[in-house]
Amino acid sequence: MKIKDILEFLDNYGMKYNFVGNINDNIIGFSSLSNYKLGSITWIKKEDGYDSIGRPKDISLAIVQDGINVDFNNIIYTESSKEVFFSIIRHFWGKEKKVGIGKGTIISENVKMSDTVTIGCNCTIVGNISIGENTVIEHNVVIQGKVEIGDNCHIQSGVVIGIDGYGYTQNSESKKKTMIEHFGGVHIGNNVFIGSHTNIARGTIDDTLIDDGVKIAPSTHIGHNNKIGKDAAIICSTLYGSSITGDRSYITSSTIANQITIGEDTVIGMGSVVSKPIESGVIAYGIPAVTKRVNDSDL
């Protein structure tokens, strides 16, 4: 493959870049900067990373963040170096998707899904469930009850969606607890990623809602009645019942108390406990989490 093939791909997808070098040079694969392989394409996000390996001049091609000075010949400069680099390697070297259903998977008769859906081995998908176009469900996933999953979603192994959440009534005299049956479902939009070992509880009456473009990292708990806005990112966190996360917000390794609202474009820093509402457009962290400054990050 020649560099001109990569540039043609970027042009076809409307990605902005500036190329310096020889479009006819060959590229045979990809590699990281710290373990660079001659003839491959790599990615340079920060100049100190390039400095740390001695500023080599024998790099065949690199995607370079705008504003960084490098000492080799073939360079694709862009403001979105991460997006451009991983788009290239996914397009030219990504795994080919295999549509089908794996061994040991149980799917009830009332499940509606596109014939472009991929489902791994030993999954259980039972209930009033719909699954959209080009969605991938990996191995050992449980989806039950009333669940809607949109197009182009990716659900990793070990995820559980649609079980009853944790809620009970308590007798005022005996203090005996009785678990509450849940009647809601789970609605998952398009282009959602759900990492392995994540649990998403169904709503008690209304649905738990996960909007388009949401990305959920492994080992996350989404409690009943949660509402997670478009393009939010939830990383290894616990969101108790009926919390609301605004569009494009970013929550990392934190605990969100029940019935708490987090505004749009807000970052919750690592290890926080959010026990009071957090407004839009800020960075907040701590125990308890408090607003520290305006959000000027690019997460």
Which residues form the catalytic set? 224
- Measured between alpha carbons, how far is 9 from 50 in angstroms, rounded to an integer? 26
Spell out the residues 6+ positions from residue 182 whose beta carbon is closer than 8 angstroms to its own: 145, 164, 165, 167, 201, 202, 203, 204, 224
What's the start-to-end Cα distance of the chain, in Å?
Answer: 33
> Which of 40-46's residues contact partners 24+ apart within 8 Å by CB, and which partners?
41/6, 41/85, 41/88, 41/89, 42/85, 43/81, 43/82, 43/85, 44/68, 44/70, 44/81, 45/81, 45/82
Query: How many angstroms separate the Cα of 113 from the Cα of each of 117, 129, 140, 163?
Result: 7, 8, 18, 20
Contact assessment for residue 80 and residue 97, using Cβ atoms and an 8 Å cutoff: no
Q: How many CB atoms lie within 10 A of CB 238?
A: 19
Q: Pick from 282, 223, 299: which is nearest to 291 by CA?
A: 282
